Structure 1
């Protein structure tokens, strides 16, 4: 009996222990981080997308509980929702305000109760919040305006703007960005505006009435895609849906989203405006974890039109699929965690029942041992899987780094070739200028060297072009071109080689006056690749024929390249345009990317290329006539510049008088040029060519900034790739230094991508030349910059105290002159105001002030102050009733006599005579 009681006591103790463990586990698991979100409304697709992305992000964090309250687009309802979330003491409060002003006090209330507040999409009054997440609505308006400007021609175009809910920050900011940009474009005008509330039905009646009275509208800009759809439906009723282009905002993916509307032709374009839901939850979690976040987090917006709608849709579909896969995996992990928790709890039960196992016997011991063994095996298996996963990630990372290193190596190597090629071409240019033109043999040899140097450059550029095509960075710049003349020019480059080998080389056409829109740079590379291949594989005494066929009744032209070479095996035809593919019968050195690039370039022209090979090989290019198949931004009005020796010489002669720099032959008055370059050969070349006209100073890059500050040259030539600090840094330092900010800087670089151009412009460079460059182009750039500097000096010198801040000749110089004028104006009646006092006010030395003013205006600072006082005095003589003596003291002259002397010296008349002449003229008038 006593044994039975003891057993029962142990059983009860085990049960209570088990209950206690479950209770503790449950308490820990139920402790959640609560994030409250007050949404404006959840009826529209954009808000639903925001809520979905929030919920999806929250699902990745089991410890997060997300509460979303629907404000029904009603301010009063949203105030009640926010008050409820504050009273519930949520850990983080997220708000998307219906209107700005009514919600602001509640945000302050939450912050006073130590509840972090994230503002999403729409703003409140003021900056009193933890963080803002959303797109730049002002930029949205600018993007829409710029897109319309790109579509429109020079003819006047009328725009109707349909605005969002009055009082909401997106509507106000989108309107401001759009209208401010449109007002700067002469041929565009906002003729009408309609006030909506974000929904399609809110604008239909007003728009219908407007179009019934006046349907003279070219573009409609709607503040969101829903109102844009409503506008299209009204246009359709008036049969105007194909006449008026509509630009919306939101760019959601899905059957009822802006991307689909663009694909269906309902919208011309939509500005993608991210919801920010995903980011809001991420920042909320960072706040809970004690991490710092930015005050304002602006999300990127972009234009989506027919050119990129498919790409954007595919990207969003992939992202959604990826997120769904991640969520499915997360759910599986949760199931495994629950299974593991269940097993862990079972283990605890077993441990609790272990106390009874002594009474229950060997069976209970065996069961416990078996379960423990299985758990250990499971843990080992999980450890193995984790280790394998880490190894796979490490291998993938190494492969990615290896591929990137290879790509960077080839790109860097290609750029390194460009400096020696610059030296070769510049030397050839110099020899050509100095060589007797009657020496035909020497001229032929020089031409041969030049052509082969250019061919080497073509091969290097081919490597760079391949990298660009892989990164989708090549853009088309097509201009109107006579295709026969263009073909003849390239055709002639190959005549010498063909003649040497006895190859019959012929160019045929049925229309010598045919004009096509082509990118000359890219099409030059196409011709070069196809002709060089034809010469490479055609045996001596063979035949190469280029034929241009204009089909009168068709909208396309064909250019065929036929050779009598070794042909292409039939098995290789299908893969001939793939990168790094080399024909099985090709025994010659080949990179394997020439034909691949050729196909890419032709497809950029919206054309086609095909190949046929039996007894001979024929490559046929199909190009369309006119320019209707090209986008507006793919067409340029002027043809691309080509460095042609004869044309360049002629250009120099014509422009010489326009940009003539004075006193270049006087050694004391030569302009100072500082060359910052670490390549000794290039330094010697530039020095020898420039020394005749300029004072040349040199730096290897280590002391570039110091020499510039010491010399204060008139112009600086700076390489980008330098040993100590790169040229972008040197340029930025000099442009931000008061002493050197006025000096024009020419950047030299082997980098010819858009990112490098933009970086150079941001650092303050005035000109940007890529290697290899022609010295004639460099020389002309120097003359142009010095000429513009002289124009600027003339402007400042002849306007003195009338500098107009709206006429932006040079922002930093103009700001400096305006500051000088302001200081003189403040001390205009102080006769003891000196140059030293001016320098002290500007916090620079007297010598630095003298050099700066001398460089910008061309006069010393004392004369400038005197001219300013005299110009002010002249103005007072015209517009005031003050006596001459009063004006003298009011403008800082120590005595009336000193004032009269200086006034007569400058204007050839005394102050009294000048006023008398003014009075007589007024009486006569």
Structure 2
């Protein structure tokens, strides 16, 4: 407003109306220019991607449906272009097409290979060039791909085999029509079929024919061998197209009614498999999704740098007379909706073209008007005053833009500073809450007890003292950091014996080195060396370097401190053979608050930054050399003499402040050991996952009196112990190195073997959104540090009691429908299904059940015991007994038939077993009245 008023005032200084006209014209001109420029501004460019899609063939309905699905999903991503090639069932042609696609500069390749083996080398070549590869429907004999998407062909074969066995009632003659034998779907479907038919020796595979996935090929093959294939009961083809082709041949021969035809694909549409089932041409088919939509979604995630599942198996269902009408209604509705969507899409496209045309017309009109105004006002701009005013306005606009840019820059800096401040406070909260927990929790625990044993009191006070010193060290580092920030950090150097000084510091770590069996040595040819240095600051530097070395050096490693005299410097090196640093961590080792891939550690994050600050105050230098997995070496260079020091930095040796060194807090008291009680007295097994040694030891000791406690320092080790032990409850910290507590909780709750285990999360973060994240991950309880030990124990007892009630609820009936998580129900449903399926097999037991469930015997025993409060054998016997009671009440079968059907080797053994469990013989039970 100020600029506009100034400009208007300058225009009004002239008395002539011509100047007024110039001002008005200029104002309108600027408005039109602004509208034109804003309208013509191009949108931000979006990167475009080229996806190559190579099909082995596109001639059949299933492949056409796949291409349609690909194109439909691609319509939601306008910046993606599809380059499509159809090989027509030719391996050599498809190989050359893939090479052509690569030469055309594709960003990602989707391929459905014609054959498995010939394409391994070709796809490996594409993969090595950095082009992501997605295998669709068919696999290759190589691991060089990013993702595989397709149905479970092995499972499809098994489903078909099961249907055939049920349809033929375990006896009959069948013909199997293969797809291309060298393709992975044909091989896996055949293998799955054979696995099932091996269980039915009365079902004979009369002939295996090669249909090569084509209807015409099947017609020729069946017609040529029809005389030998008339007396069959069922023909199974690897896809619906071949099954319908075979049906046509048999129909011409008048034999179609005596043979059942079964296929795979179950595509919707008037001439596809689902319609064939509806018309009775096919007895059954099995839905085999194309995966076209999933392929494009996966390609987009890969090209956007997001993670994807490497194996994406699409689900399938059996389609027969019992469900085909419902599925067909749904598919027809989906096809109608798809057609409507495409029609609406075309309409939107037409409207978009109309809008573009009208917009271009408007731009043309505006441009024409602008030109006319510029030509009409050209003479008016001859006035010098207007030129000056225009230049002044431009200058003011530039100043405004500069001010805007400056404001945005300052705003960005403020935002970054605010984020750093919040991150810093979060780090402080995490670092301070752990020692506070180890001070408050043992204190509250001791105060809550009526009587305390002397050793227990000593252990608690030792833990409190140790963590109080740790807090003191953190506070001291924070004060040093504050002094450095405000420039109040000053050097107070005096001449002292550096060798004796370093030897004393190394000597303080000897006990810790002995406990961890670490080779700690001071290696130097010097017996004495006078050097000007600040003892307090150099002490903190060396203490910090040695503490970090011990933290990252494994048991049995080495830490060597070397000192040697150079020309005009003294070199001190602290070397270890620990885990080392990555290149990124090494480059930022002395940056304040940097932690790299590891969770932030306040002592390390500030300690190294302060170490550099203190060494630079001495006019020295500190550097690091490190290789991941091999070790780390910190090198300090300090100048000799005192010519580099200012007069106010030199103090007499007697005035040096000699603060007492804080105890080495990593040295845990050997007496802090968890209580050991007989297993019979334990109320359950707990798994404690905590990276802080003291807190882990305290929790183990505190909970060990009532529970059996297993402790691990990392989530990875905790997950392995979870699968090994199947604990009754898990207590985990949230902030852990590698996998964190939230990720561990999600893995526990998602795995069928461990989904029933309650999880308690411990964290120093009190913000509500973090607690919500914990609950969303599946945690049963979220406790913040410092926590009350009694509250923790009561929480554990309550969760275990609720788990026991759940066991009783599940035990009341074999599979409860009113409680338990989805994973628990899924486990029990699958367990019960397998037992009932094998009920007539007298040899069926825990070994076979654990194999079919896909878990070990130990895991199966623990899982069933945890959910049903009974062992596996009792559960199998309960189901046998329940089935026997039903047969006795509802059928007239003999005792021998019932014994065989329920898996008993003889009627006598069945009678003995039944009487032991019901106090009645089977005959007495059948005659007795039904109990209310």
- TM-score relative to the length of structure 2: 0.39
- TM-score relative to the length of structure 1: 0.39
